[in-house]
Structure 1
Amino acid sequence: MPRTREFDTEAAVSRAMELFWTRGYEATSVRDLTRELGLGQGSLYAAFGDKDGLYQAALEHYRTTLAAAALRGLEEGADARSAIRTMLIERIRIAVEKDGRGCLAINAACERLPEDPSTRRVVRDMQDAARDALAEVLRVAAERGEIAARNDPYALAAFLVTFLNGLLVSSKITPDARALEPLVEVALAALG
Structure 2
Amino acid sequence: MARTKEFDPDAALRAALELFWARGYEATTMAELVEHLGIGRASIYATFGSKHELYLKALDRYAETQDPRIVEELSAPGPALPGVRALVRRFAAEAAADEGRLNGCFVTNSAAELGPRDAAVARRVELSWEQLETLLHAALTRARAGGELPADRDPRALARMLLVLMQGMRVVGKASSDPARVGDAAEQALALLD
> Any conservation in 2 of the 1:79–1:146 contact (CA below 8 Å)?
yes
- TM-score with structure 1 setting the length: 0.90
Is 2:130 the counterpart of 1:128? yes
> Any conservation in 2 of the 1:16–1:58 contact (CA below 8 Å)?
yes
How many aligned positions are there? 192
Q: CA deviation at 1:80?
A: 2.6
**2:46: which partner in 1?**
46
Distance 2:49 2:67 in 1: 25
Q: CA deviation at 1:159?
A: 1.0
Distance 1:9 1:91 in 2: 31
Deviations 1:68-119 (A, max 9, x none): 5433432237533321232223334444434522111111011002221100
Q: Structure 1 vs Structure 2: percent identity of aligned residues?
A: 36
Aligned CA distance change for structure 1 residues 72 and 35 (closer, same or farther; 3 Å): farther
5+ residue gaps, structure 2:
none
Q: For residue 170 of structure 1, what is the amino acid of its counterpart?
A: V
Is 2:52 the counterpart of 1:37? no
5+ residue gaps, structure 1:
none
Give the secondary-structure state (helix, strand or coil) at the position aligned to 1:100: coil
Give the secondary-structure state (helix, strand or coil) at the position aligned to 2:6: coil
> Any conservation in 2 of the 1:77–1:83 contact (CA below 8 Å)?
no
Distance 1:16 1:68 in 2: 22
Q: For residue 9 of structure 2, what is the amino acid of its counterpart?
A: T
Q: CA deviation at 1:148?
A: 1.5
> Any conservation in 2 of the 1:99–1:175 contact (CA below 8 Å)?
no
Q: CA deviation at 1:158?
A: 0.9
Aligned CA distance change for structure 1 residues 29 and 100 (closer, same or farther; 3 Å): same
If each structure's helix is expressed as a fraction of its own residues, which one has the higher value? 1
> Any conservation in 1 of the 2:94–2:101 contact (CA below 8 Å)?
no
RMSD: 2.0
